[in-house]
Chains A and B, each alone.
Chain A
Amino acid sequence: MAIKLGDIRLRRYKVGPGMIFIWIVGALGLSVAAWRWIAGLGATTNLSDHRGWGIWISFDMMAGIGLAAGAFTIAAVVYIFNLKKFYPLVRPTLLTGFISYILAALTLLADLGFPLRIWHLVIYNNIHSPLFEIGWCVMLYSAVLALEFSPVVFEALHWKVPLKIIHGIQVPLIIAGITLSTLHQSTLGTMLTIMPYRIHPLWYSPLMPVFYYISAIAAGLGMVVFESYNSARTYGYRFELKLLSSLTKIVPWVLGLYLVLKLGELVVSGDYVYLLKGDLASVLFIIEIMGGVVIPMLMFADPKTRNTSNGIIWAAFYAMGGLIMNRINSALTFFDGALYLPAWSEIAVSVGLTCLGIIMFDAAVRFLPMFPEPTAEAGKK
């Protein structure tokens, strides 16, 4: 009873001790998540009435979705702006995006008080709620990502008809994906605009939707660099330095726009006075802007840095770190509420889900034609 699985076959990459460690941590994290579902949020987390959202929201959801912005950016670059040379980056980036959204959904299942009611978003509605919009966008975009990625699977299975269908609707699909991303990436910022009294003025701004959108594009591209580098190192593929260097030429412009808007808003609103206070908020704000915006901007702008593996990787790290820091600062650290340090269980679930993401990526690389192998078809392109 052999089922023909076409090109879905195990590619024999070495399983290093690192991967085994990730499996173990992933399993532990999921066990802790299971415990949280049995025992309840109160018993297993440090969340309280005065700190309703912890690291699952600020780090896993807000930063996680932000870092997944590479998927729609690359899709736009390759399919809409027709820069075909970046095609080799498409598949792994789409996969990273898809996995990120699966993780975001899993995080939500850990965080929601009634995880089994997550589908209520479908039957009840409130168009005034940013979270309602995010929920729908994420649902639809996950479906779009699955479809965008499905040719990889169909190709491997040699299924011609579905491949043709997907190819036929590819452009509308890509446009839908970019539109949905534009909506929910910015709406993550809109979510916080209703809290002017809760969020520190250095982070609070009516422009938060714009800030969240722009910073996600920059950090999402950073994530593309990081993910390419890691795949190259782990699976022995060629590191597409030239392509990435060419792609990330745009990052200084994106970060520059972010910087100008962000600082401009501080000056116009008069909130720059909080910078002069010398307290923790001002120090962390300056670290965030210098380390997460200015430094990666300069590094990506400098061809010498951008054209070396080390340079581009570090620039990517700074850009990603900037986004993570921004999301945690605005939605947790400087979000007024009770003093909070994540419980070990919250960290375990966060880390465990991240490991699960790596495991899913690893499985895809092992079973699916993720990277262009030297075939006749690839040669034509």
Chain B
Amino acid sequence: MPINRRDFLKTAGAGLGGLALVDSPLGQLEIQAKQQEANDQASMLYDATKCVGCRACQVACKSRSSLPPVTDPERIWEKPLDLSADTWTLIKLYEGEEGTSFVKANCMHCVDPACASVCPVAALEKTDAGPVVYHAERCIGCRYCMAACPFGIPKAQWYSNAPKIQKCDFCADRLAGGERPACADACPTGAINFGSRQEMLDVAHSRVTDTERYVNTVYGEHEAGGTDVLYIAGVNPLLLGLPELDDRSLPSIDWPYMKAVPWVVGIVGAFLTATYFYTHRNEGKEAQDGH
């Protein structure tokens, strides 16, 4: 995805502001290195053209994580309308001029996740294996993760007075035990593929060349610096509730500022000290004169 003009100018604007804080080429290299590393991470490829909307994945997810059902008033249908603290994955349907497609909503497990980078107590963690996991015992409930996530994934248990943040954890425990994620395991049609990120990208790219069936794009390859959950579909992924994002990893935007903290301390401290001594240079004399 090319960087559009506005974003280019935004970056240029930061430079013009006199701050040498814009992403250095070194920072870009760091991100590339991160993406390289990511290619060994666990990854899921959702192929919307193979999904029949049976919601077996939803049920498997709920039973694996013991999540309560979200029901209608008669308590007959399990029918969540959106992701929530109790629904970590959800099959939605797009029907429009461009065609019809199911789409599976869940955490994207970004290569460089904003949620983990903003969490003040490191309650959210990007593991080396790929999953972004949550350490509930650390969480202070500030909800910065919810604000920072470009996909709107982390949800809070609003009904509770100890509101944990909840989201798909990529079945990190199952993965550690050599198993597949519960949703991928349950999928009867092969719509949810599981493997290393490199494998999934290879599968995705080989499939989307069939432009009769697919729109030739792999969502998640570059978006927000890349995600471990990838999408291919018969309609434009942006119609499926996936946001339009550029290639920047979000933490790469504010890291230059955070990295500058020791410099700010040093420069401001030195400036103030120097100013103090300059403005008080005659103090001693006056005192002596007075005595």
A: residues with CB less than 8 A from B are 37-43, 47-50, 52-53, 76, 79-82, 111-115, 117-118, 120-121, 124-133, 135, 171, 174-175, 178-179, 182-183, 186-187, 190-191, 193-198, 201, 205-207, 209-210, 261, 264-265, 268-271, 335
Nearest-neighbour CB distance to chain A for B7, whole angstroms, equals 8
Q: Encode contact with A along B263-283: 1 for CB under 8 Å, 0 otherwise.
A: 011001100110110011000
- Are B10 and A135 touching (Cβ within 8 A)? no
Chain B residues in 8 Å Cβ range of A47: 158
- Are A183 and B144 touching (Cβ within 8 A)? no
Nearest-neighbour CB distance to chain B for A264, whole angstroms, equals 7
Choose among A118, A124, A130 the residue that contacts B122 (Cβ–Cβ < 8 A): A124
Chain A residues in 8 Å Cβ range of B118: 128-131, 191, 194
- Are B158 and A175 touching (Cβ within 8 A)? no
What is the CA–CA distance of A61 and B120 in the complex, to the nearest angstrom? Answer: 16
Total number of residue pairs linking A and B with CB closer than 8 Å:
203
Chain A residues in 8 Å Cβ range of B147: 52-53, 195, 198, 335
What is the CA–CA distance of A50 and B5 in the complex, to the nearest angstrom? Answer: 29
* Chain A binding surface SS class: helix
What is the CA–CA distance of A271 and B155 in the complex, to the nearest angstrom? Answer: 31
What is the CA–CA distance of A174 and B155 in the complex, to the nearest angstrom? Answer: 42
What is the CA–CA distance of A235 and B143 in the complex, to the nearest angstrom? Answer: 42
- Are B272 and A178 touching (Cβ within 8 A)? yes
Listed A/B pairs (23) with beta-carbon separation below 8 Å: A42-B158, A111-B142, A113-B143, A118-B140, A124-B122, A126-B117, A131-B118, A131-B120, A132-B120, A135-B120, A182-B268, A183-B264, A186-B257, A190-B254, A194-B148, A194-B253, A195-B150, A195-B250, A206-B13, A206-B14, A207-B19, A268-B12, A269-B13
- Are B152 and A50 touching (Cβ within 8 A)? yes
Choose among B163, B251, B280 the residue that contacts A82 (Cβ–Cβ < 8 A): B280
- Are B119 and A126 touching (Cβ within 8 A)? yes
What is the CA–CA distance of A368 and B85 in the complex, to the nearest angstrom? Answer: 50
- Are A210 and B121 touching (Cβ within 8 A)? no
- Are B257 and A114 touching (Cβ within 8 A)? no
B: residues with CB less than 8 A from A are 5-6, 9-14, 16-17, 19, 21-22, 82-85, 114, 117-123, 138-144, 146-148, 150, 152, 155-164, 243, 245, 250-251, 253-255, 257-258, 261, 264-265, 268-269, 272-273, 275-276, 279-280
Known contacts A117-B140, A193-B253, A195-B147; decide if A128 and B117 are in contact (CB<8 Å). Answer: yes
What is the CA–CA distance of A194 and B243 in the complex, to the nearest angstrom? Answer: 16
- Are A206 and B253 touching (Cβ within 8 A)? yes
What 13 new A-B contacts, CB under 8 Å, besides A80-B272, A197-B243? Answer: A38-B161, A42-B156, A42-B157, A43-B159, A80-B275, A82-B280, A120-B138, A125-B121, A125-B122, A133-B261, A206-B11, A264-B13, A269-B9
Chain B residues in 8 Å Cβ range of A50: 152
Nearest-neighbour CB distance to chain B for A112, whole angstroms, equals 5
Known contacts A81-B279, A193-B253; decide if A268 and B122 are in contact (CB<8 Å). Answer: no
